[in-house]
Amino acid sequence: MEIKTPKLASSRENCMKQDFSITGEKGIKNTSTPLNSTLSREWFGEWFDSPYYHILYKNRNFEEASAFVNKLAKHLQLNSSHSILDLACGKGRHAIHLNQMGLDVIGIDLSSENIKAANAFSNPRLKFFQHDMRQAFRTEYFDYILNMFTSFGYFEKEEENQKAISVAAEGLKKEGKLIIDFLNPDFVRDQMIEKEKKVIEGITFHITKEIDLDNFILKTIKFNDRGQNFRFQEKVKAISQDKFISYFEKAGLKLEALFGDYQLGPFNPNSSERMIFIAKKP
């Protein structure tokens, strides 16, 4: 079957039409303002809704997602009878490819902008909804739930992480599987580049990284676009392998496999970039 590659890249033309600065003003005059005092909503509600996220991560494209989905599809022996949830689907790059392979797919994401973009590809067997993964979605409905490319670890409270995994477990049919593609925190810690500069689509992103006392990986992104200053911060909890296993167990899931990269190679705590969990509902 010939699979067409959808154009998922965000248009820079729309960037300036909306206000994505962290202060809620157009451009940040004073970046020393404490972040928490100015955030009107959780950081992940702001940053992933912004077109700048899609510019900075433009190499995380449809082709990369398709290659990984193909590997997973082979490993999981996916077929057109299976129903899939892409949990925190973004603009739907994994969901669209799975649907093009003939599967029934639903994608959910918190970002209204992402869901709007993904909906351009919807069809009777591919639907997208704006939804928070901490809220119940469907019960015993999906054969597989995929949570791809570090779409976890954003919440402040342990209970919220557990809730999101438990909600996913509820959404699985008996013998269904949850796949979580997360960073390997030990690798991130060892390989951390504290300061870097990236020029993409004419924007110079100044990026700094650190790990805070609560074990969150903080990535601060500053840039100027057409005379306006912006500052965003990603905040991802360095969740360990054991902690994930404990979330799974409390949600009634059992770890079936753990891979260390997008080729589904074995996980090595020191050298693997990813932790790709497959957890099964009995």
- The interface with ligand SAM within residues 12-51 (CB under 6 A) comprises 44, 48
Using CA atoms, how far apart are residues 148 and 126, in angstroms rounded to an integer?
17
Closest distance to ligand SAM from the beta carbon of 98 (Å): 12
Closest distance to ligand SAM from the beta carbon of 33 (Å): 23
Closest distance to ligand SAM from the beta carbon of 109 (Å): 5
**Three-state DSSP state, 204:** strand
By CB under 6 A, name the one of 149, 248, 259, 262 that touches ligand SAM.
149
Residue in the shown chain whose Cβ atom is closest to ligand SAM: 90
- The interface with ligand SAM within residues 118-147 (CB under 6 A) comprises 132-134
Closest distance to ligand SAM from the beta carbon of 93 (Å): 5
**Three-state DSSP state, 77:** coil
User: DSSP string covering 80-105, please?
Assistant: TT-EEEEET-TTTHHHHHHHHTT-EE
Which of 31-39, 89-97, 258-266, 267-275 is the region at the interface with ligand SAM (rule: CB under 6 A)? 89-97
By CB under 6 A, name the one of 15, 28, 56, 93 that touches ligand SAM.
93
- The interface with ligand SAM within residues 159-218 (CB under 6 A) comprises none
Using CA atoms, how far apart are residues 94 and 91, in angstroms rounded to an integer?
9
**Residues whose CB falls within 8 Å of the CB of residue 58, separated by 6 or more in sequence, listed in order:** 9, 200, 201
Using CA atoms, how far apart are residues 131 and 2, in angstroms rounded to an integer?
31
